[in-house]
Structure formats: C-alpha cells, structure tokens
Structure 1
Amino acid sequence: MSVFKAYDIRGVYPDEIDEHLFYRVGRASVAFLQCNEMVVGRDMRVSSPSLARAFCDGVIDQGCSVIDIGQVSTPLLYFAGRSHPACAMVTASHNPKEYNGLKICRGDSLLPVDATSGLLRIQAFVEEERFSSPRHKGLVTHKNFVQAYVKFSLSFLKAKRPASVVVDAGNGMGGITFRELMKEDVPFTLHPLYFTPDGSFPHHVPNPALPDTLTELAQHVVERRASFGVGLDGDADRCGFVDETGKVVPPSVLFALIAHELLLEQPGGCIVADLRMSRVVQDVVRRSGGRLVLAKAGRTNLKRALLEQRGIFGGELSGHFFFPETAYCENPIIMLCRVLNMLERTGKPLSALVRPLSEMYANSGEINLAIADKIGALAAVKDAFADGDVSLLDGVKVDFPSWWFSLRASNTEPLMRLVVEAQTESELAVKKAQVLKVLQPFLVREGSQASADFPHGLPPQL
C-alpha cells in the first residue's frame, strides 16, 4: 500500500485512503502498540471527521480506550499525548485539500511510529487483517486541552514590552489555539488572519515553506505596522516568519537567531539541524560557543538526534522547530514567544537581526523538482560532483569550499528537493545552473513544481 510513507500514512481521499482502511489501521495500531489507551485528534479537512470516527472504532474494537480531543493542532495533540501510552492525529499537514493521513506516536517519548519503528508492521497487520479478539471493547471519553496547552506555551514568554503580531492560520488548526491565546493577558496584540478552520482552504494552501503563501501575511504586517508575522501550515506544526518590513525570514536565519538566544541561556549546548540548513547556522552556533550536530531531514530523524545528544534546540529547513520542554515536539506559540523575547533583549527590530545573517550567503531556498528516476538523479549528481566532499546521509549533499548543494527525495510528496548555497549571488547562479543541467534529463515536464526560485515553473532552457 503506497499510502504507508516513511513517517506516516498519507494519500488522496477517497481514492487511496478511506474509512475502511482507517478502521483496520485503528485495530492494527493497538495490536502493534499493545496499548490500553490512546489520545486521538483530527484536523479541519473535510474527510477528517469520518476518518477519525472509523479509526477510533477500530481502536475500541481492539480493546483500547480512546480519549477524543476533537479538532486540534498536531502540537496540541503531542501536549495531550505525553501522559498517555499512545496518540494519533488524523491530518495531511500541509498537503492539498484532497489529501488526508494519520500520524501515530508512542505517548511516553512521543517518538513517531514510522517505517523504521513499526509502521511497516502496522501495514502488515492491515493487509493480512491479523487481529486478535479482545475480551472487551474500549471506551470513548472526550477532553479539551486547549486552555492548558496555551497556558503552558505562554510560560516561555519573558518579554513585557508591547508588540504587535499578525498570525495567518491559513484556515488550519492553528486558528483554534491562537484564538484561545487572544483571551490571555499578554503584552502583545495578536491580529488574526484566516483563523476559521476550513478544509477547503479558500484563501491559500497552508504551507509556509512556499513564499507565495506568505504574501498576504506580509501585506498585513506592513499595513498594521506589526513587529512581525507568523504563517502556519494546516496542522500548525510548521511556521514561517516575516519581519516588520514584510520580508520573509529565511528559516535557517531564524533558526540561527533562536539558537544563539538559547545558547546564551545554556552555554555549550547542543543544537541539532537538518543538513540542508544554511552554513550561517554553523557559523552562528560556533561563534556562540555551541555544538552543532547535522541530521537527516524529517522530524523522526531530528527527534532521535536531539534525544541522543540531549539537544537544547532543533530545526528543519521546512519550518519544524523542536524544544526539549515539549519532548522535542513542535510548538509555534513557544517559537513566537522566543522571537518576542529576543526582540526585547536586543532592542532591535527583527529585520535588523536578520539582515546581517541573510547577507552572509546566497541561498536558493528549496527548489521542488518533479523527477521520476530519483535513484538515477542522485547517482548522476554524485558522479558529476565527485571532486567535492560527498555525504550520503540524506540523498546526496556535496560540499565545496565556497558552495554546496543538497538533493534528496521528499518523504511526503512525489518530488525531489534541491538546495544550493554559495558565497555570492553570481556564484549561486552559476552553480545552480550546473546542478540543474545534470538533472535536466531526469525532469518530468508536466507537473514540475513551482518554487521560490521558479514561481512559474522551470525555465524552458533547463
């Protein structure tokens, strides 16, 4: 079944996933985890209520009780699931509206159940329908964790100076938690944008990794003279920031800034970043006296590295940020608080902190490429740039003294992702063209994805 991915279950509804599948996945999850209680949440997608009901029916029919926390963000599910044996979230994150999926975690460590830690066994249970007959069915109870989650998240706010923040929930699940935040006595004003959950995504796809989705947020930040803006993805476990001038803050730069702040609090701490992050992260962590560990992309990989290294902060280029206080799970409210704390400590606007770091290197951002022969494409770039320092930790990454590139297959979409970075814009243009020339025979014209670099698709000469 192709819907069983590297990290979770994901596919088009109802063609690839449906209620019958989710019922069996519910039973299979209990059979594998051997748990007696599971916290279950869902996002705002049109198919989520029926898929969640089917999944819960399978769970209770296998003898496990369900704590139904309703329509929530994924970070809130993690918060609720920490004190329970297991948790599951019906969501397709940032994928388009026709998709849906399921994330499953062990409750104690909140480690995801992925292809390396049990998802393939769950798949086998589903396909073979090997389910034992429990002595009794589980029970269903309903609980609300929203207020507790918001209060916990705001405990990280130290700033007292008035500020103004625009948050674009993209009609996703962040609207519920941030609307609750607006009820709290905080020193900043929060301006809501698209807080009403709507699985049809009437305004834009909730994916802050795509710069076009932050355009309206940037306009509102400038119009309201806000301190900065935050854009969330569908299940609110990823976030993107724009500064007070309306410019998008590169994720690597934001990560480096917050890493520096945390290293001031915890000198010598370990920072874990995915290997696609800009070299600015290495420079800042080293200058701040920290220790940097590079990990394979993917929240499972980052989380495991953070646990092994006892990291104080972790992050991905896609906008996932991880904190030890949340069992190395994402929390966009904590990220917002950390940025507010930084602005107050430095007395500078966000643009003034971002500018020096963003000017250190010229970076392409992620270029999404539709490539059918992924193995062939990886082998081609590995051979073409064999004179560099080649790493096969995650796809192919090749480092040279003045530039580097990373090419890897997406684990959530049928794409390959390319990042190129150099010391100057002119060198970046040359090196990017060189890499794309090697990849040209592998590109699938129809369906090639737009990106920050090619907003209207790939140039015909490539």
Structure 2
Amino acid sequence: MQDLNWKKLQNGSDIRGVAIDGVPSEPVNLTPEIAQRLGQAFTTWLATKLSKAPTELQIAVGRDSRISGPTLMQGVMAGIVSLGAQVYDFAMASTPAMFMSTVTPGFDCDGAIMMTASHLPFNRNGLKFFTTQGGLGKPDITEILTLAEQNDFAVVTTARAITERDFISVYADQLVEKIRTAVSHPENFEQPLQGLKIIVDAGNGAGGFYANKVLEPLGADTTGSQFLDPDGMFPNHIPNPENHDAMASICEAVLANKADFGIIFDTDVDRSAAVDHQGLELNRNRLIALISAIVLKEHPGSTIVTDSITSDGLAQFIEQDLQGKHHRFKRGYKNVITEAVRLNQTGEESWLAIETSGHGAMRENYFLDDGAYLVSKLLIELAKANQSGRSLTDLIATLKEPQESREIRIKIGVDEFKAYGESVIEQLKAFVGEQSDWSLVPDNYEGIRVACSSAGEDGWFLLRLSLHDPVLPLNIESNVEGGVAKIVERLLVFLKGIESLQCNH
C-alpha cells in the first residue's frame, strides 16, 4: 500500500478501482485492506462533518452483485467498526436504497456506503458514499482519499458487532406504497397493476428485487422476467440501459412474452430504461420525453434539466408541446442534478434532472438518481392509462425524432489532454464561422454545439471534452437520410488538419 496512488482511485464523485486480477494491463488497486482503510477514512470524515465522535455514528453498507463485493465489503465494514461506529450490513442492495437508509425512520443512518462500479466490467469495483444530504461531491472524495493515505486513525480496543438488516425490503415497500397511493385504483387499491404483464431484466445485477418485491405485490404478472439472479460475471449481457445488446434483449423478451411493459436496470439500479408493448425502446430522448410529460402535467411550466446531447426534437417537445422549459446543461449526472438544485434555489421551479444515460432525479425524491423510482413513476401512468383504455406512449406521440444519430469518440494523444481538447474546440469554433450553413447554438454550456441548416444535413453536432478520459466525444443527429455522413465528411476536413487526434469514423 506504500506505493499506492490513492488519487487514481477517484472517479469524479465516486471511488473506483480494479478489484480482480487477470485482465491484462489492469493491476489490482482495490483490495480488502485498501477498502478497510477507506471505511476508516469515511468514518473519520463523517464524524468531523457531523461534529460527532466516531462511536456515535451509524453507517450502512451494501453492495451489488460483483464477485469482489463480499470480501471488499467485509474490509470496509471492518474499517468502520475499528473506530467504534455501528455498522449495518445490508448485503445485496441498490445505490438509491443506500441513500434512503439515511432518511428512513427506524434506520436514520448518519451515512451509507454502496459497493459498486455501475456497468463497468466484472474486475472493477468501487464505493459510493451518502449522507442525509445526498451523494458526496468531488472535493469530499478527495478529502476521504487524503485521510486514507495519511492512515492516522483512532482505533478502539473493543469494536461493536456488525448488525445484519434487510433494508431492500423496506425500500421496496416504499415504492409499492407510492404506486398504490398515486394510482388509487377505485376497485383494486392493493393491486393496481393486476391484469398487466410487466417483465424485468436485471442483467444479473442488484435489480432483481423489483420483480418480486414491487411488481408482484402490486398484482403484475412478471412471467418472462430474466437475469434476476445476481451474478457478478454478468454472463448474459452488460447491465446497462445504454448497451445495444442489453436493450435488444429486453425488447425481444417483451415481444416473445407478449408483455405490456418491460423494465431494464443497470447494475446498481440508479439507472433504468423501459420498453413498450410493441417492443419500442423507451430510453435516451424517449425516456426523457416520457417522464417530462408526466412531470409537466404535475408541475406545469416548470424547467426540465437535461445533459448536453439531447435532441432538438426533445427541446421542441418539452417547450412547444408540453409548454415547459428545457434547460440543456452539461454531461454528468451530478452536473445535471446540481444545476436543477441551483435553479430551485434561485426561484426557478425544476422538478426533474435527467441525463440521456438514464440517470433521472426528481425533486419529490430528494433529487436522488433512482432508476427504480423513475420506473415506478412510469408504472403509475401505465396503470392510469390502462384504466382509461389509453397507451402510455400516447404521451410522446408528437415527439419528433431524428432520422439518424451517431457518436464518434476521438482520442487525444497527448498527456495534457484537457488543455489540448479545449484548444481543438476553440479551433472548431473558428472553422464553423467560415461555414455559411453552420451556426453556433446559443446558451450552450459544454463544448461546441452547431446547427447544420442545409437541406442535405438538417441536424446538429456537439463536440465536447470527456469528463474523465482523453477523448473528445462527437454527437451528431440529422433529420434526413444520409445527413450524418455529410456532416461527418465536412468535419473530417477540419479534424485531419489537427495533430494528435485519432478518429475512428
């Protein structure tokens, strides 16, 4: 551990590392011993923030299905109890449930830790931290890693016993009651989803509980649900709603089982997507449009905050069809959520912050990015639509979608990639200024967004710098067939003139 680069474990507002050996060029840097010290560091940090002694703290720990989870979790819990704090072992859990343990009466945890690396490969793992104020930010993670590196902890002579608690059932019950109350079925309050076949694809992550602990008590037929059993090797597909194979799998399952609705979660259930009865994917812009339609019925005229790569058709749908306000901000779910919180503090009402990746957070739910809560909101509307003979997707019937869309990731081949990437963006602005049918989109908060107005292109592109990697992601959409290729062709003229860029177009 003396040679460990603790800073390399930071990934924005999370800690992530390699926990399993065997993948070439990926040495292990997250061991049970390191996890133990991270548990001690979080406990010390939390005690300082709350002006409490470590022995006064209650901290919950949970994990997803990763094969390294059990041993790393034991390390984290050993670190916490070594300082005299009370630890609750939640075993298999979801990331949103871990936060909810800090605000649920009867648990009232001072802090919580989730062991997860979201949709990353099987050899990775990590830690997400929560207090009653929500997930920690980047500066907090930096402080915790500094404490871990210093390794100066006041260890107690007698540690408390770790207490096992079943919190995922408590959390699931909260969702069940939310749906029952919101639907308020006049004839079947207890089972408002009776008569509906709804299938879940958990991707062998932690989301399998939703089928038997939420849907079945509400009366839904979950026959055909798949990959509910936790398996950290993810043998069927990556548990990621953005993954093509994962979405194809749930779409096929919905059609094969003649289901009314399909649900897919990522590994730790902070993201989700859905599928309608015709096998239509309800993710990315469609998911945002659908939940926006629900939110703007409840809170007319309020602001929907999204990330930077949402489509022009979505903006038009929110602002013209739904009469709401669309605030297109930066990539990164923490950025989107923080911006929505800021808007509310300044007096601009915002009830939804959502990224195209499927991270969706609602003001009514602590601005917690909770895939299960988001899906539950959709199910409430599905049940209401079913009662009145409507389809859920009637809500987005007027959404205009692009004919084509594409993402190209351009690698930056220099060490100081952030400064270099910003210089490329500035050069592109000058290039755009020389094009008669291209124009900069106003009120853009990230990179450069360009409207392409010629009849053969009729679309837009956004070039931005990745949040963490030496990459310039390029997102392109067009409303005409062949339009993306034409935009790419013109951009290549610019990109080929810049050194140290690798563009696999």
- TM-score of the pair, normalised by structure 2: 0.79
Q: Does the CA contact (< 8 Å) of 2:172 and 2:210 recur in 1? A: yes
Q: Does the CA contact (< 8 Å) of 2:361 and 2:369 recur in 1? A: yes
Instruction: Tell me which of 296, 316, 323 is aligned to 2:355.
Output: 316
Quick check: 1:121 aligned with 2:143?
Answer: yes
In structure 2, the partner of 1:383 is: 427
Q: Does the CA contact (< 8 Å) of 1:381 and 1:438 recur in 2? A: no
Q: Does the CA contact (< 8 Å) of 1:11 and 1:100 recur in 2? A: yes
Rate the CA distance shift 1:61–1:121 in 2: closer, same or farther, 3 A: same
Rate the CA distance shift 1:201–1:271 in 2: closer, same or farther, 3 A: same
Could you tell me how far 1:427 is from its partner in structure 2?
Answer: 2.8
Q: Does the CA contact (< 8 Å) of 1:43 and 1:71 recur in 2? A: yes
Distance 2:127 2:445 in 1: 24
The AA in structure 2 aligned to 1:95 is L
Rate the CA distance shift 1:219–1:335 in 2: closer, same or farther, 3 A: same
Instruction: Tell me which of 129, 142, 160 is aligned to 1:104.
Output: 129
Quick check: 1:398 aligned with 2:443?
Answer: no
Q: Does the CA contact (< 8 Å) of 1:154 and 1:334 recur in 2? A: no
State the percentage of identical aligned residues. Answer: 26
Instruction: Tell me which of 67, 79, 85 is aligned to 2:100.
Output: 79
In structure 2, the partner of 1:5 is: 11
Q: Does the CA contact (< 8 Å) of 1:245 and 1:351 recur in 2? A: no
**What per-residue deviation string (whole Å, max 9, x for no partner) do you get for residues 139-158 of structure 1?**
52221122221221133432
Distance 2:301 2:332 in 1: 25
**What per-residue deviation string (whole Å, max 9, x for no partner) do you get for residues 155-196 of structure 1?**
343274632222110000001333322440335546311000
Q: Does the CA contact (< 8 Å) of 1:7 and 1:411 recur in 2? A: no
Rate the CA distance shift 1:418–1:124 in 2: closer, same or farther, 3 A: same
Quick check: 1:407 aligned with 2:458?
Answer: no
The AA in structure 1 aligned to 2:269 is A
Distance 2:144 2:444 in 1: 27
Distance 1:80 1:66 in 2: 12
The AA in structure 2 aligned to 1:406 is L
In structure 2, the partner of 1:452 is: none
Distance 1:408 1:99 in 2: 26
Could you tell me how far 1:102 is from its partner in structure 2?
Answer: 0.7
**What per-residue deviation string (whole Å, max 9, x for no partner) do you get for residues 409-455 of structure 1?**
4447775533222343433332244445645655558xxxxxxxxxx
Quick check: 1:181 aligned with 2:214?
Answer: yes
Moved more, 374-383 or 62-71: 374-383
In structure 2, the partner of 1:449 is: none
Instruction: Tell me which of 69, 74, 85 is aligned to 1:64.
Output: 85
**What per-residue deviation string (whole Å, max 9, x for no partner) do you get for residues 86-144 of structure 1?**
111010101011111111122x121x2232x3111112112222334558645522211
Q: Does the CA contact (< 8 Å) of 2:199 and 2:259 recur in 1? A: yes
Larger Rg: 2
Distance 2:60 2:101 in 1: 7
- TM-score of the pair, normalised by structure 1: 0.86
In structure 2, the partner of 1:448 is: none
In structure 2, the partner of 1:420 is: 476
Rate the CA distance shift 1:146–1:199 in 2: closer, same or farther, 3 A: same
Moved more, 265-274 or 125-134: 125-134
Could you tell me how far 1:336 is from its partner in structure 2?
Answer: 2.7
Give me the CA root mean square deviation. Answer: 2.8
Distance 2:443 2:146 in 1: 29
SS, match of residue 208 in structure 2: helix
Superposition pairs for residues 218-367 of structure 1, below 5 Å? 218-287=251-320, 288-310=322-344, 311-343=350-382, 344-345=384-385, 347-349=389-391, 353-354=395-396, 356-357=398-399, 359-362=400-403, 364=405, 366-367=407-408
Instruction: Tell me which of 67, 71, 91 is aligned to 2:116.
Output: 91
**What per-residue deviation string (whole Å, max 9, x for no partner) do you get for residues 230-251 of structure 1?**
2211111111223323232341
Q: Does the CA contact (< 8 Å) of 1:397 and 1:406 recur in 2? A: yes
Larger relative contact order, structure 1 or 2 (CA cutoff 8 Å, min sep 6): 1
Q: Does the CA contact (< 8 Å) of 1:369 and 1:416 recur in 2? A: yes
SS, match of residue 204 in structure 2: coil
In structure 2, the partner of 1:150 is: 172
Could you tell me how far 1:52 is from its partner in structure 2?
Answer: 0.8
Distance 2:405 2:67 in 1: 35
Distance 1:216 1:51 in 2: 31
Q: Does the CA contact (< 8 Å) of 1:239 and 1:320 recur in 2? A: yes
SS, match of residue 482 in structure 2: helix
In structure 2, the partner of 1:193 is: 226
Q: Does the CA contact (< 8 Å) of 2:307 and 2:336 recur in 1? A: yes
Moved more, 381-390 or 29-38: 381-390
What is the aligned length?
A: 443
